[in-house]
């Protein structure tokens, strides 16, 4: 028995020592990685914008309202960033418009994801950029519908000879799980108020209710009407032509079809498109095109603005609405504190409240509403919905 306890205590002691050593090594490795990331981040060289440059507006990944500034954890994954900030994109376009060193935009719309509101914001900025007299050219191997919606603004839209262009309209195809749940012996019990509350329909029905069909149809029809009107105006077409093209599935057609329907202006390989850009800039074909990316434009300086005692604050609220006191998402205690700071700041004369959210906690929303109401009683508050 004595030998048994000796072995048991020895094994336990060995396990504790091994766990301690493993934890210590893991912590050292983590600290080393963080130091390396922070060190490399701090040593980034500042970007110098060259004369006769273009803004290389390459869109890919998920385009969010905003992304965290100077987030070192993005270096862990490397490669292409998984997200872009709409604020960074718009900021780059505005800087490019007002900077004499930038002559135009090269729009490269790859596979990216963005909300309809985000697309509309970026497209509006591109149209405003054109008003400056600078050029916009667009090129892609494949244009998604969202990508083409932005590219149609361009002075010249080009596509690869083997490329594809997708304009198909908008539809809603919900999935329903009621039958599957019944086969699993699961019964959904739903409590709701209001005819148009349709969130739980997939779990309680086998098809769309008439009320939900009405609201979804109204919603997607408005979006499509806006998109086709914008595309038609940019391409000097009638909206009926866009509808007709969408019904012909242009993605399955050759590039000759795209040319004949005025969806694109020219068919070029990427190298030929870059030669065309060189012509616009007036540089030799062997010369590298001076350019700046969205990320690089963030470091391009703008004329300093003196701090004013008559300022307008911009308060961003992005994500789900929950209870909490942290800056990520829309957490009630954090936003109530921020709103209170704005109310007390005598230099802030008005507030623009930018909201991009699918909703969330009714309780947290009520707390933020109360704080906004107090702010509104003293200063003008304008809401911008994403």
For 141-171, the pLDDT digits (tens) are: 999 999 999 999 999 999 999 999 999 999 9
Q: Is the pLDDT of residue 71 over 60?
A: no
Give the confidence band of 19 by pLDDT, cuts at 50, 70, 90.
low
Q: Measured between alpha carbons, how far is 118 from 171 in angstroms, rounded to an integer?
A: 19
Which of 319, 356, 313, 310 is closest to 338 using CA atoms? 313
pLDDT tens for 49-59 read 999 999 999 99
Give the confidence band of 200 by pLDDT, cuts at 50, 70, 90.
confident
| CB contact set of 4 (below 8 Å; sequence gap of 6+) | none
Q: List the beta bridge partners of residue 384.
A: 354
| CB contact set of 198 (below 8 Å; sequence gap of 6+) | 208, 209, 211, 212, 215
Give the confidence band of 77 by pLDDT, cuts at 50, 70, 90.
very low
- Of 70-79, 200-209, 210-219, 377-386, which range is least confident? 70-79
CATH class of 311-385: alpha beta
pLDDT tens for 263-292 read 999 999 999 999 999 999 999 989 999 999
Q: pTM here? A: 0.80
pLDDT recorded at residue 221: 96
Tokens of 11: 């094994």
pLDDT recorded at residue 138: 98
Q: At what angle do helices 362-376 and 332-344 cross, to 10 degrees?
A: 0
Q: Is the pLDDT of residue 69 over 70?
A: no
* Positive/negative CA dihedral, 112, 117, 122, 126: positive
- CA distances 100 to 46, 129, 132, Å, are 19, 13, 11
pLDDT tens for 342-385 read 999 999 999 999 998 888 999 999 999 999 999 999 999 999 98
pLDDT tens for 31-42 read 655 555 454 444
Give the confidence band of 304 by pLDDT, cuts at 50, 70, 90.
low
The rounded mean pLDDT for the chain is 87
Residues 174 and 208 sit within 8 Å (Cβ to Cβ):
yes
Q: Where in the chain is the domain with CATH 3.90.226.10?
A: 53-168+249-299, 311-385
Tokens of 341: 């700071």
Pairing type for strands 381-385 and 311-318 reads unpaired
Mean pLDDT across 319-337: 93
| CB contact set of 183 (below 8 Å; sequence gap of 6+) | none
Give the confidence band of 2 by pLDDT, cuts at 50, 70, 90.
low
What percentage of the chain carries pLDDT values higher than 90? 69
Could you tell me which residue, 159 or 8, shows the higher pLDDT?
Answer: 159
- The fold of 53-168+249-299 is 2-enoyl-CoA Hydratase; Chain A, domain 1 (3.90.226)
pLDDT recorded at residue 42: 47
């Amino acid at each position: 028995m004595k030998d048994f306890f000796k072995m048991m205590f020895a094994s336990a002691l060995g396990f504790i020592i091994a766990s301690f050593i493993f934890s210590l090594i893991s912590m050292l490795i983590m600290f080393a990685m963080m130091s390396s990331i922070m060190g490399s981040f701090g040593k980034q060289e500042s970007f110098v914008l060259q004369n006769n440059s273009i803004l290389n507006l390459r869109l890919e990944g998920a385009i969010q309202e905003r992304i965290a500034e100077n987030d070192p954890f993005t270096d862990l994954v490397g490669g292409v960033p998984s997200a872009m900030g709409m604020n960074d994109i718009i900021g780059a376009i505005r800087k490019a418009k007002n900077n004499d060193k930038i002559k135009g935009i090269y729009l490269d719309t790859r596979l990216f994801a963005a909300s309809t509101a985000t697309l509309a914001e970026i497209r509006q900025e591109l149209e405003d950029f054109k008003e400056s007299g600078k050029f916009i050219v667009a090129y892609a191997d494949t244009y998604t519908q969202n990508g083409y919606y932005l590219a149609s603004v361009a002075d010249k839209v080009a596509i690869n000879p083997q490329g594809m262009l997708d304009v198909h309209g908008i539809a809603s195809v919900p999935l329903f799980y009621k039958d599957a749940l019944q086969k699993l012996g699961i019964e959904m019990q739903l409590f709701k108020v209001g005819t148009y509350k349709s969130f739980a329909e997939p779990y309680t029905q086998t098809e769309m209710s008439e009320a939900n069909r009405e609201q979804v149809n109204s919603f997607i029809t408005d979006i499509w009407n806006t998109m086709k009107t914008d595309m038609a105006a940019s391409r000097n077409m009638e909206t009926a032509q866009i509808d007709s093209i969408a019904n012909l599935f242009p993605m399955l057609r050759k590039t000759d079809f795209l040319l004949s329907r005025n969806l694109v202006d020219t068919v070029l390989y990427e190298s030929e498109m870059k030669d065309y850009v060189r012509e616009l800039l007036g540089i030799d074909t062997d010369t590298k095109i001076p350019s700046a990316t969205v990320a690089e434009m963030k470091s391009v300086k703008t004329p300093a603005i003196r701090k004013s005692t008559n300022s307008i604050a911009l308060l961003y609220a992005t994500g789900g609405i929950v209870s909490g006191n942290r800056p990520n998402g829309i957490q009630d205690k954090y936003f109530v504190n921020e709103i209170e700071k704005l109310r007390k700041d005598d230099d802030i004369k008005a507030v623009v409240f930018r909201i991009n959210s699918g909703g969330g906690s009714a309780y947290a929303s009520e707390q933020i509403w109360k704080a906004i109401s107090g702010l509104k009683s003293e200063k003008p508050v304008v809401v911008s919905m994403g």
